[in-house]
Each structure stands twice: as C-alpha cells, then as structure tokens.
Chain A
Amino acid sequence: GQNIDQPTEMTATEGAIVQINCTYQTSGFNGLFWYQQHAGEAPTFLSYNVLDGLEEKGRFSSFLSRSKGYSYLLLKELQMKDSASYLCAVMDSNYQLIWGAGTKLIIKP
C-alpha cells in the first residue's frame, strides 16, 4: 500500500529552527509537496521537490532524498504565525497526490 508518515505534533520556540520530517512509500514518484494549513483554512502551497537536494525559499527550505523515501521541511526564525499544520504529499506514478495526515506545529513565545 501507499503510506506517508509524519509526526502528529511538534512544539518549538519563537525565533528557533524546526525540522518536520516526512517518509513515504508510494507506487512511483513524481514529486513531493509541502503545504501549510492554518486552522479552519484551506492548505497553501509551500514547496515542491522532485530531485534530490535542498530547495530554499526564504525562511522555509525543503529537502528530498528519493533513495531513502525521505523529505524534511525546515523552518527558520520561527514566528508565531508559523503555528499551523504542515502537510506532506507525494505524487505517485498515476499523478495522484497521496497525503500525509499533517504535523501540527505549535510555536511558543
């Protein structure tokens, strides 16, 4: 079967750095997406990785290792507004998105 694993919840301090991990087992791979979802709102697109390595976009970076079936989202200089759920999603060989359950990130002052 297809599976996406990410931690249920993480807590970090304002101004710090946090890394949210995602591991996957899917039938084929056509890219991995990270989305941010604030409570009561729809997800918003953060990043897309299809090749191994690190993609940096401001305070957010995303890393992919296809051989290990592993990705992480790195958030730097955390702000209170970063409190949200972060969703990992993998596009399989049929170009269908397989969604993780999301990681709820709690930022404390």
Chain B
Amino acid sequence: GAVVSQHPSWVICKSGTSVKIECRSLDFQATTMFWYRQFPKQSLMLMATSNEGSKATYEQGVEKDKFLINHASLTLSTLTVTSAHPEDSSFYICSASPGGESQPQHFGDGTRLSIL
C-alpha cells in the first residue's frame, strides 16, 4: 500500500519550455502532497506543500509564479515549471502521506528535468 506515482521520469527540453509533472497517490487519498527539489549530492529541499482545493504553500525563496502547483483532487497534484531555464535543471520529487499527520511520507520515483 501507499504507492505514489510520478510522471514523467525524465524530461529533456529547450529553454523557455513549460514542463508539467504529475504526482498521483494510487491507493490512498492525500489531502496534502509535497514537492521537493534535489540537486546532485545535496539534500532534499522542500519547495512547496500542495493542499487539495486551496492554494499551495511555498517555501521561502521559491517563486510561486515560476513553479505552479495545482492540487485538483485528493489523488492528483501537478507541478508546472514555467518558462524553464538551464538553472531549473534538477531532480524533482513529490511525496504524499496517507492517514494521519504522523504517517510517513511516501515518495514518487522523481522526475529528472534537463533544460538545454
């Protein structure tokens, strides 16, 4: 149980393109999902907390107009990197937690984004 699916796994695209990443909880409902970014050999960095039916909560320093988050249902959250540039190249990972607030977060497989 507690499976999180993330798609796509890899994206390579030109600078200026907008990229959408989907995160789905397959066997549970997730009121809250989380979006992380991880640069090579660095720790996970929380970008934003995605709340179903309301606006996402962004961490300090993360541009909300650059990283658009939509939590359309209890099983789906999307992250859109708008007008992506080479510095946005990174490993993006979503996570979700079933049940109560002290449940572990379960991660999607991540999306490796490369902007040329």
The verdict on A99 contacting chain B, using a C-beta distance below 8 Å, is: yes
Min CB gap A3→B, angstroms: 13
Q: Given the complex, which residues of A lie within 8 Å of B46, measured CB to CB?
A: 97, 99
Identify which of B11-19, B66-74, B76-84, B106-114 touches chain A.
B106-114
The verdict on A60 contacting chain B, using a C-beta distance below 8 Å, is: no
Q: Count the A-B residue pairs with Cβ separation under 8 angstroms: how many? A: 41
* Complex alpha-carbon distance, A31 and B103, angstroms: 9
The verdict on A44 contacting chain B, using a C-beta distance below 8 Å, is: yes
6 A-B pairs besides A45-B106, A99-B46 with CB distance below 8 A are A41-B109, A42-B93, A42-B110, A45-B104, A87-B43, A95-B102
Q: Given the complex, which residues of B lie within 8 Å of A31, measured CB to CB?
A: 102
Min CB gap A30→B, angstroms: 5
Name the prevailing secondary structure of the A interface residues. Answer: loop
Q: Given the complex, which residues of A lie within 8 Å of B108, measured CB to CB?
A: 42
Q: Are B104 and A100 in contact (CB under 8 A)?
A: no
* Complex alpha-carbon distance, A31 and B104, angstroms: 9
